[in-house]
Amino acid sequence: MAQTLPESILERAVERYEKAIASLEAAAEDLSVEHVLDVLIARDAVQVAMSDKTQHYSGRPIKAVKELDNRLKEQAKYINRVTKLAEWQAVFNPPEKEWWWLLDPITPKPWRDRYDWLWRFFSLVFLTASLSLLIDISTRFLSGGPDTAGVFAIIIPSVLTLLAGGGALTKTGQEGIEHILTSLQLKKDLWDEIVGLASFLLCLVLIAFYCLMPWFAEQYINLGDLAYCEQNSAKVTLVQSNNCVPQLARAENQYNRAIKLDPDNAKAHYKLGKIYQELQDFDNAVVQYKMAAKSNITEAYDALTSLYLARQDYGNADRWLRKAVSPMNYYKKKYTISNEQYQMLQSLSRAYLEQKKYSEAITWLTLGLKATENDPEKQYNMLNLLGWVRLKQNRPEAIEFLERATKLDQEKAAAHCLLAQALEQQQDTKRAKLEWEQCVEHASQDNPDEDRWSGLARQRLKVLGNKP
């Protein structure tokens, strides 16, 4: 059966503790180290008496201990003025539960400490955003397989983010950050603010890096141009002059990397489309050209028109050519189109002529006539086709267009051959004979149309009684 601790033993320890505190309180300005040590040692004796769990004691002395402890805490600031408790801790080596040896003066917390939770919250937000940015950046750089430039580009942001993230989100990392801040002799009550600002700066660095992605994309485009032997810089021109051999696979890879970094880079999409077109991969070429066309790149419109013409998809060719030549600008005084657009317009008009879609052909030829008014050779071809379409429609205007064409170039057979047919259509056989003769004289066997019309001209001249 457990023994009962004599009240006098615990009470004597409490009484001693009370007298020591009273003496400390009364000392005021004359407080000494001896007063402090007396109190702390007396508190040790109280703790020893209370620690024996095999004994029983009443609650009255425990209540007294609680009140005396509160009085001791109130004297903390005076105690620390007299002596540094940290020095005595090294002598007595007390455990952490003996708080009186670790007593610090009660000082009010700075007002900013009330917002430490907010700083920690923002630190978590900024670190989460940084990790998200890092994942996105790394994915874009490494999606086409690791390369030297890409690896070096993401090393620094990756290391910074992983260090910051690990420091804030893991116990080991937190201890590491505390060690660094302690080494820098920074006040502990500023640690949350410092970590929050560091997280914010890291996020800013990654945002800036993210904003540089289009610049990195341009560097990959330049590398693709080198592989493709594109003459768009002095360096590339030098390579081209040294019998550069296009490396299509390498160029394709570089342009794809550029697109990963900057999906809206129309130049990269257009150049990649050219690679696919050269590789006869028309479906992927169309996809890339359409992506480039979203940024209103005229070259992409031209390329799409050319592809669809080659595949005899005249409906889509018509749609993209309209975007390329902007028919809405037809009424401008100086309305022009490029040589490539002119060739495509001519091909599309000829296709419509053969398909008997005369109104569509007239629309394009009228536009072409306006756009080429300063080029006699192109004007000739536009007038020639216009006259041919009107001939097919059995319209007398065919004669006007074809006569204008013959005035531009008397040595070409096409307009003479068609004009002869238009004149016969309108029962003007006398003038028709003259044009049939010009048709035979200037026709070329290398031109299928002229060769066929030359044969027709000979037949008509026989019928009209004038053999060539």
More confident residue, 428 or 140: 428
Q: Which of 4-13, 249-258, 342-351, 356-365 has the lowest mean pLDDT?
A: 4-13
Does the structure show a pLDDT above 60 at 365? yes
Distances (CA, A) of 338 to 12, 81, 279, 331, 341: 111, 91, 26, 17, 5
Q: Give the pLDDT of residue 235.
A: 42
Local confidence band at 234 (pLDDT 50, 70, 90 cut-offs): very low
More confident residue, 253 or 127: 253
Contacts 24+ apart (CB under 8 A), 212-219: 213/137, 213/140, 213/261, 213/262, 214/261, 214/262, 214/265, 216/153, 216/261, 216/262, 217/257, 217/258, 217/259, 217/261, 217/262, 217/265, 217/268, 218/258, 218/265, 219/149
In 170-233, which ranges are continuous DSSP H helix?
Answer: 171-183, 191-211, 213-228
What's the whole-number mean pLDDT along residues 190-195?
A: 69
Do domains 264-374 and 377-467 share one topology? The answer is yes
**Domain extents for the chain?**
9-92, 113-226, 264-374, 377-467
Task: Look up residue 94 and give its two tokens.
Answer: 């007390």
Calculated CA dihedral for residues 290, 296, 299, 300, nearest 10 degrees:
0
Does the structure show a pLDDT above 90 at 180? no
Q: Which of 101-110, 243-252, 363-372 has the lowest mean pLDDT?
A: 101-110
Q: Give the pLDDT of residue 230.
A: 73
Length, in residues, of the chain: 468
Does the structure show a pLDDT above 70 at 89? no
Q: What is the CATH number of domain 377-467?
A: 1.25.40.10
Q: Give the pLDDT of residue 276.
A: 94
Helix (H, G, I), strand (E, B) or coil at 411: coil
The fraction of the chain above a pLDDT of 90, given in percent, is 41
Task: Give the N- to C-terminal CA distance of the chain in Å, as an integer.
Answer: 148
Q: Give the pLDDT of residue 76.
A: 79
What's the whole-number mean pLDDT along residues 216-226?
A: 92
Fold type of domain 264-374:
1.25.40
Q: Give the pLDDT of residue 2.
A: 46
Q: Are 158 and 138 in contact (CB under 8 A)?
A: yes
What does the angle CA 24 – CA 26 – CA 30 come to, to the nearest 5 degrees?
Answer: 75
Tokens 């009424």, residue? 331
**Residues 6 or more apart in contact with residue 203 via CB below 8 angstroms:** 126, 127, 129, 130, 133
**Residues 6 or more apart in contact with residue 188 via CB below 8 angstroms:** 181
Task: Look up residue 319 and give its two tokens.
Answer: 């749609």
What's the whole-number mean pLDDT along residues 392-409?
A: 94
Does the structure show a pLDDT above 60 at 173? no
Q: Give the pLDDT of residue 239.
A: 44
More confident residue, 364 or 334: 364
Q: Give the pLDDT of residue 408.
A: 93
For 23-59, write each residue's pLDDT tens digit: 888 887 778 888 888 888 888 888 888 776 666 667 7
CA–CA gap between residue 278 and residue 259 (Å, rounded)? 19
Local confidence band at 5 (pLDDT 50, 70, 90 cut-offs): very low
Contacts 24+ apart (CB under 8 A), 193-196: 193/112, 193/116, 193/119, 195/119, 195/120, 195/123, 195/167, 195/168, 196/119, 196/120, 196/122, 196/123, 196/126
